[in-house]
Amino acid sequence: MKQVVKAQQIDQSHQYKRLTLIVTAIFVGAFLLVQSLPAHARGVPAEGFADIVEKLLPSVVTIQAIQEVQAPAQGQIPDLNLPEGTPYGDLFEFFRKRGEQNPEPRQKTAAGSGFIIDEDGIVVTNNHVVKDAKEVFVVLEDGRRFKAKVLGADSGADLAVLKVDAEGEKLPTVEFGDSDKARIGDWVIAIGNPWGLGGTVTTGIVSARGRDIDSQSFVDFIQTDAPINQGNSGGPLFNLDGKVIGINTAIYSRTGGSIGLGFAIPSNQAKNVVKQLQEFGTTRRGWLGVSIQSVTDEIAEGLGLDEVKGALISKVHPKSPAAAAGIHDGDIVLRFNDESVLNSTHLRRMVAAAGVGVKVPLEVWREGKMVGLVVALGEREKVDMAALSGQVEKAGEVEKVKIQAVELLGLELSPLTGLSRQKYELQDDINGVVITGVMPGSDAAAKQLASGMVIVKVNQQEVSEPSDVIKLAEAARDEGRGSILLWVNHNGQFSFIPVKLPKE
């Protein structure tokens, strides 16, 4: 199963158990192609990459994030989902519950990469490398280790800025380059800490630009075939001038290892975020105050648009900059700040990048004609986005459904998302509701239902949300039925499993 995953920090306590080194001899004919390149194109350095790498290595660091995680107390008996009637089952359950009452926190060290941009100890890395860390340390190429302070972090661009006290020593630095000048086919060098090995150099080319791998991100990624692996997160992607044109962040992989599809945050998108994190500890992004969706063929045809482009305003939030500017529900934003709007994600990123308090011209398609407006953007970070989007209410509803599912069926349920598919290794063609937990002693446990199984149908009806399962279970109980019939997919095998319903 293909997944876009963070090329993220790894647990050093397990890294060498997980690591398998495969050495493959490859005959490379790239040098034959260099001779035919145009004069302005840059080929492989005649002397190789050693000289430039030697200068860059001291500025690339390893990030160690100490995280505290809850762990079962020593000697705790795990949830074995024992069938009814198991000898000494009550005794197992007694000790299991006793262990749950005394969970002991433990620490784990996760590792990522970073690079120094200021000789006084300013380090750039990914937000997901240091997120939720109790302590953060920076390890230099020569092995020296310094405690670091997180000056600021931003999940929207997945960037964090650290400060280390090098005890008066001026540290080696690298500079940001111009990522807009990076062309598809240009050579790049990645340096980082893959699998916790530290100081590892890989090379490749810019494979593509402007990749949209995460609609919730504010970044259009650079794609590279330079091998990027877990632990490379936060490390620099250099051009042949030794300038940072990207921050390695994610990989597209079936296994978590590199298959030549790595993604980096472009330096020109990172510079402003890094500057704001240094100055304010947070970002300051523009905010329009609307809910948007992309324009489809049907929408374009229905509204008389010649091209399928722009962002459709599905809702204007009250007292927002958009409301003040006269933007209406149903408007299609075609131009923003004198640039064409491709889709909803494009508009979202354009607004965020425009800044706070800036007056921006925009053009909308309304009732068959273009309308010009000017909007003064607000500050996204000062807005309760969850409340505006209804996520607070949704979270409460999800918790309610979870409790109902446990009470009715003895099951914890979750919709199938990218994360749940990755966690339980579920193929993209599997649909339904995934089981994430089973209550000990329940009929579901007795029927050997387990986490990772997918409920496809309930009483012959397809389900896609936990609420679907609850509604069908409650309907069956109201009709006086004593059980429901689940059609379950487990490792590609389908089976019908009846589960008893509690009496009201």
From 207, 233, 267, 344, the catalytic residue:
233
CATH of domain 286-385: 2.30.42.10
Alpha helices, H only, 38-168: 50-56, 89-100, 127-130
Equal CATH topology for 1-283 and 286-385: no
In angstroms, how far is CA 368 from the centroid of its own chain? 39
- Please report, in tens digits, the pLDDT of each residue of the chain (504 residues total): 345 556 554 444 444 334 333 332 322 233 333 333 443 445 667 778 999 999 999 999 999 999 876 554 444 445 545 455 555 555 555 555 555 555 556 777 888 999 999 999 999 999 999 988 899 999 999 999 999 999 999 888 899 999 998 888 899 999 999 999 999 999 999 999 998 888 899 999 999 998 887 767 788 899 999 999 888 999 999 999 999 999 999 888 777 778 889 999 999 999 999 999 998 888 888 999 998 888 888 888 888 888 899 999 988 988 899 999 999 988 999 999 999 999 888 898 899 888 888 999 999 999 899 999 999 999 887 775 545 544 444 545 555 565 666 678 888 888 887 777 777 888 777 889 999 888 888 889 889 999 899 999 998 899 988 888 988 988 888 888 888 889 999 887 888 888 988 876
Contacts of 423 (CB under 8 A, 6+ apart): none
Backbone phi, then psi, for 294, in 5-degree steps?
A: -75, 155
**Exposed / middle / buried, residue 374 (Cβ in 10 Å: 0-12, 13-18, 19+):** exposed
Q: How far apart are CA 238 and CA 179, in angstroms?
A: 10
Q: How far apart are CA 138 and CA 113, in angstroms?
A: 9
From 59, 113, 154, 158, the catalytic residue:
158
Q: How far apart are CA 494 and CA 457, in angstroms?
A: 11
128 is catalytic: yes
Q: Does domain 1-283 have CATH number 3.60.20.10?
A: no
Q: How far apart are CA 434 and CA 185, in angstroms?
A: 42
Beta strands in 93-216, from DSSP E residues, in sequence order: 104-118, 122-125, 135-139, 145-154, 159-164, 187-192, 200-211
Nearest-5° angle of CA 27, CA 241, CA 227?
Answer: 40
Q: How far apart are CA 283 and CA 261, in angstroms?
A: 29
Q: Does domain 390-500 have CATH number 2.30.42.10?
A: yes
Which DSSP helix (H) or strand (E) runs through 371? strand 369-376
Q: How far apart are CA 434 and CA 166, in angstroms?
A: 49
Positive/negative CA dihedral, 414, 416, 420, 426: positive
- Among 349, 333, 343, 345, which residue's Cα sits nearest to residue 296? 343
The torsion angle over the Cα atoms of residues 23, 26, 31 and 32, rounded to 10 degrees, is 180
Kindly report the number of other CB atoms within 10 A of residue 451's CB atom: 16
328 is catalytic: no
Which DSSP helix (H) or strand (E) runs through 311? strand 311-316
294 is catalytic: no
From 59, 113, 128, 294, the catalytic residue:
128
Tokens 């302005």 locate to: 40
**pTM score above 0.75:** no
Q: Where are the domains of the chain?
A: 1-283, 286-385, 390-500
